[in-house]
A and B are shown apart, each in its own frame.
Chain A
Amino acid sequence: MTSDNDRRRGLLARLRERPAARSRGRRRLGAAVRLIAALMLAGGAYTVFAPGAQAQDNPQLTGAAAEGKALFDVSCVTCHGRNAQGVEGRGPSLIGVGAASVEFQVSSGRMPLARQEAQAHRKPPVFTDEQTRQLAQYIQELGGGPVVPQGDDLHEDGNIAAGGELFRINCSQCHAFGAGGGALSSGKFAPSLHPATDRQIYAAMLSGPQNMPVFGDNQLRPEQKADIIAYIQETLKHDQDPGGFNLGRYGPSTEGLAIFLIGIVALVFASLWIAGKS
């Protein structure tokens, strides 16, 4: 409530003069309003100027794993899901399968899968060695799991005789004594070991792909795995079969076929000749 006198005195003068004393209640109310206003001002300023903090959903990946993720996002998410968690009816979760599993499946060409069927088949690999390593690194960093030791030759110190014993008790029932492979149920099969490299054999033992059982390091120590690999690579692959011709190393099936197609036919014709009229 200014009088004519105050208006003439000027704005600044008016602001300088002390306001009239007010009641205690009105003073407190005013203080509260000013407090709230100040807080709101501070909060607003903070919200505007503070850096935008998002939830950390992209784990920090190493360089190789980041490359692997890029490959994964292009080639694998259809069946294995965006975060490798698996898609029902198409692909299992890859959390925990480890670099060993990826190395085996990708380097042998089994993954990317051509079609859903009883078993993935070995075929020419889609990814190079470098890319395979990157994919493996990505999956390893994503969920952990078994890893194949370094190096391309994993059987340097392997004991072939011990490897032979271990092969016969653990591997020969499915993969056959000559490592030619064998049938399993319902369209599945244990493949021939002849195209496999050291790393692939090691990775398969460690990760148990599809229906192959898992042979962890507690069951077959790394030295024992090296023994088995030495036996396979040195003896089974390079040993000559007695007589030179192994009929595919499938055992009784091909041998029986040969006997019936060649041997029995020859015997039949021989008996016809012997007993025929002279």
Chain B
Amino acid sequence: MSTHTEHQAPQGPEPLDVNDPKLTRFDIVREGARRDDIEIVHYEPQVLPGTKAERRLTRVVAGFFLITGLAATAFLAIYIWWPWKYEAGRGGDKFYTPLLGFTLGVALLGIGFGILTWGKKLLPKEVSIQDRHEGTVDAEGRTITGQTMLYMADELGVKRRPLLGISLLAGLAPVAAVAAAPLVGGLISQPHKNNQMFTTGFATPEGGQRIRLVREDGRPVRPADVSVGGQITVFPGIDHGVSNKHADSPTLLIHLRDADAQESRRANERVGHGDYMWGNYAAFSKICTHAGCPASLYEQQTNRLLCPCHQSQFLITDNARPVFGPASRRLPQLPIEVDSEGFFVAKSDFTETVGPDFWERP
């Protein structure tokens, strides 16, 4: 490349007069490039105008754009008139979204292919060389700029009167915060409102009744409802208990076999949860302590509860401690009992936090 340190190296003897009527448009373009230190070395069309090759390529590019137009029109037509309401069995509605996707994809691909073919095949080949600027401005210009900046700083008077500068910064800083406050504030919500990270829907209200375990349709559960080796998903028997408002509350009520239940109770006693089971029934939170998916794949013979997202396995007969997978904390156990009418109730809330770790978790 050029080893010139000067600015005007490849310009040639003198600049061209761009108003000269003898110059072609390309000459003027080349002159303009030259004044930016770009030398157009090689410029030649790939297909000569009027040849069969050019006509063919033109038709190809036009074809792509035509496909784009047709596909986009088809998209609109499908969007408006294709059946989209769900119907059981086979039907056109099952192809609504795939067709929309297909036509949109074809339209976008058509644009892409058209433009790329135009650029790669129809446009002339060009090789240009740009001189690398060494980056330095001339010495006098540097001196002038430097002195001007220093002079302006002096005239502002900040050096002599520091109070000006300090008050400016101190006053403007909160203004920046004011500009950001509505944006950031809208994103923040209090995570500890009502102590919600540490309580679930099963917490017994002050002076109120213990919360019943209910099914998804709200009916309370009796011990006889769950067979040996069976499990049922239960929710707190409160308003909106079976809704996202209490998404941390779904619990798995399991009826263990005798031998497993004894093992489970011994494990409970080891960690001070000796009275959390009722008979052969144990209830564990379904919210996986790894990332919060519902761990509800219960294997009745191995007594393992599997979470489908990242395959954590919890051993129910050992306080639901994780025996496989990425979870590191056992599932919280709900202390349960049967009330005077024979339905399951939660003796109290979970005594460990439900779900994945969070910052304030002890």
Q: How far is the CB of B44 from chain A (nearest CB, A)?
A: 13
Choose among B94, B226, B300, B306 the residue that contacts A242 (Cβ–Cβ < 8 A). B94
Q: Does A6 contact B (CB under 8 A)?
A: no
Question: With an 8 A cutoff between CB atoms, is B37 at the interface?
Answer: no
In the bound complex, do residue B230 and residue A214 qualify as a contact, i.e. CB atoms below 8 Å apart?
Answer: yes
Contact of A239 with B116 at beta-carbon distance under 8 Å, contacts A210-B301, A212-B300, A213-B231 already known: no
Q: For B231, what are the chain A residues with a Cβ–Cβ distance below 8 Å?
A: 213
A173, A174, A183, A210 — most chain B CB neighbours (10 Å)? A173
Give the docked Cα–Cα distance between A174 and B119 (Å).
Answer: 53
Q: Is A149 engaged at the interface, CB distance under 8 Å to the other chain?
A: no
Query: Size of chain A's interface in residues, with CB distance under 8 A?
Result: 35
Q: How far is the CB of A92 from chain B (nearest CB, A)?
A: 9
Contacts of B233 in A (CB 8 A): 169-170
CB within 8 Å of B: which of A237-251?
238-244
In the complex, B304 has a CB within 8 A of chain A: yes
**In the complex, chain B residues whose CB is within 8 Å of the CB of A278:** 119-121, 125
Q: Of the 9-residue stretches B174-182, B290-298, B353-361, which lies at the interface with chain A?
A: B290-298
Among A182, A186, A213, the residue within 8 A (CB) of B308 is: A182
CB of A213 within 8 A of CB of B88, answer no
Q: Is B91 part of the contact surface with A, judged by Cβ < 8 Å? A: yes
A214–B256 CA distance with the chains assembled, in angstroms: 11
Complex-state Cα separation, A214 to B224, whole angstroms: 13
Query: B residues within 8 A CB of A188?
Result: 299
What residue of chain B has the Cβ atom nearest to residue A215's Cβ?
Answer: B230
Judging by beta carbons under 8 Å apart, are B313 and A185 in contact? Answer: yes
Residue B2 lies at the interface, judged by CB distance under 8 Å to chain A: no
Question: Is A219 close to B, CB under 8 A?
Answer: yes
Contact of A243 among B95, B222, B226, B229 (CB under 8 A): B95
A188–B91 Cα gap in the complex (Å)? 36
* Alpha-carbon separation in the docked complex, A190 to B98 (Å): 30
Given contacts A242-B94, A242-B98, A243-B94, contact A214 B228 (CB under 8 A): yes
* Cβ contacts under 8 Å, B311 to chain A: 183, 185
Q: Given A170-B233, A219-B230, A243-B97, is A184 in contact with B216 using a C-beta cutoff of 8 Å? A: no
CB pair B230–A213 under 8 Å, yes or no, is yes
- Does B90 sit at the interface, judged by CB under 8 A? yes
Q: Is the pair B88, A173 in contact by a Cβ cutoff of 8 Å?
A: no
Task: Knowing A218-B224, A219-B226, A278-B121 are in contact, say whether A244-B95 is a contact too (CB < 8 A).
Answer: yes
Chain B: which residue is nearest A160 at the CB level? Answer: B88
Bits for A157-180, please: 1 = Cβ < 8 Å to B, else 0: 000100001000110011000000
Chain A, 131-168, CB within 8 A of any chain B CB: 160, 165
Instruction: Tell me the chain B residues, 156-188 only, with Cβ under 8 Å from chain A.
Output: none
Tell whether, in the assembled complex, residue B227 and residue A239 are in contact, meaning their CB atoms are under 8 Å apart.
no
Decide if A240 touches B94 in the complex (CB within 8 Å): yes
- The residue of chain A having its C-beta at the shortest distance from the C-beta of B93 within the complex is A242
A234 interface residue per 8 A CB criterion: yes
- Chain A 227-243 interface mask (CB, 8 Å, partner B; 1/0): 00000001100111111
Interface string of B187-230 (1 = CB under 8 A from A): 00000000000000000000000000000100000101111111
B296 and A242 form a contact (CB under 8 A): no
Residues of A within 8 A of B33 (CB): none
Nearest opposing residue in chain B for A245, CB measure: B98
Which of B96, B227, B313 gathers the greatest number of chain A CB atoms within 10 Å?
Answer: B227
Given contacts A173-B296, A211-B299, A218-B225, contact A238 B88 (CB under 8 A): yes
CB closest residue in chain B, given A274: B116
CB distance from A184 to the nearest CB of B (A): 6
Chain A residues near B225: list those with CB within 8 A: 216, 218-219
In the complex, chain B residues 104-120 whose Cβ is within 8 Å of any chain A Cβ = 116, 119-120
Q: Are A185 and B91 in contact (CB under 8 A)?
A: no
Give the chain A neighbours of B232 by CB distance below 8 A: 219
Q: Mark A181-200, 1 if CB is under 8 A from B, else 0.
A: 01111101010000000000
Residue B302 CB within 8 A of the other chain: yes
Q: Is A208 an interface residue (CB 8 A)?
A: yes
Give bound CA distance, A189 to B301, whole Å. Answer: 13
CA distance A52 to B276 in the complex (A): 59
Asked whether, in the complex, the Cβ of A216 is within 8 Å of the Cβ of B302, the reply is no
CA distance A273 to B232 in the complex (A): 56
Is B79 in contact with chain A by the CB < 8 A criterion? no
Bound form: Cα–Cα A242–B85 in Å: 12
Question: Which single residue of chain A is at the shortest CB-CB distance from B293?
Answer: A173
- Asked if B227 and A219 sit within 8 Å, CB to CB, the answer is yes
Say whether, besides A184-B306, A278-B120, A278-B121, A214 and B95 are in contact (CB < 8 Å): no
A182 to B304, CA, bound (A): 15
Contact flags B301-335 to A (C-beta < 8 A → 1, else 0):
11010101001010000000000100000000000
Which residues on the A side are within 8 Å of B91 (C-beta)?
240
B89 interface residue (CB < 8 Å to A): yes
Question: With contacts A218-B226, A219-B232, A240-B90 known, what are 18 further pairs, Cβ within 8 A?
Answer: A165-B216, A185-B299, A185-B324, A190-B297, A208-B229, A214-B227, A214-B300, A215-B227, A216-B226, A216-B230, A218-B227, A219-B226, A219-B230, A238-B90, A240-B89, A240-B91, A244-B94, A273-B116
List 11 A–B pairs whose Cβ atoms lie within 8 Å, in order of A's numbering: A160-B88, A185-B302, A185-B304, A190-B297, A215-B227, A216-B225, A216-B230, A238-B89, A241-B94, A242-B94, A243-B98
